[in-house]
């Protein structure tokens, strides 16, 4: 899962997506309030962002992911690792 920064969208990651998609499933969502995503109601903390990222990941059948983030996305990725450690996969 690739998480963009505060002024970005999922399109920030297009070069990485193209390079990685041949060997793995790549999830690059728009954070709530960015790109094509609607604003988050209420809590907009990193933990709330993490739940907003984890729930669709599980819904599409990916119980584990490797997470990378840029800028704010890096902070969200660290919080994701702290909040949902069992969802992390090793990058190979």
Closest CA to 77 of 43, 47, 56, 37: 47
DSSP annotation of 86: G
Q: What is the mean pLDDT of each run of 10 residues along the chain (92 residues)?
A: 90 89 88 80 75 84 89 90 85 50
What pLDDT, on a 0 to 100 scale, did the predictor assign at position 9? 92
Q: Give the pLDDT score at 92.
A: 47
Query: What is residue 45's predicted lDDT score, i.e. its pLDDT?
Result: 73
Whole-angstrom Cα distance, residue 56 to residue 54? 6
Where do the domains of the chain lie?
A: 2-87
């Amino acid at each position: 899962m690739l998480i963009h920064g505060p002024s970005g969208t999922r399109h920030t990651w297009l070069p990485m997506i193209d390079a990685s998609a041949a060997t793995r499933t790549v999830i690059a969502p728009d954070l709530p309030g960015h790109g094509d995503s609607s604003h988050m109601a209420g809590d907009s903390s990193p933990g709330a962002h993490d739940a907003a990222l984890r729930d669709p990941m599980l819904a599409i059948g990916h119980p584990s992911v490797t997470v990378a983030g840029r800028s704010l996305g890096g902070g969200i990725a660290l919080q994701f690792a702290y909040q949902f450690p069992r969802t992390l996969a090793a990058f190979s």
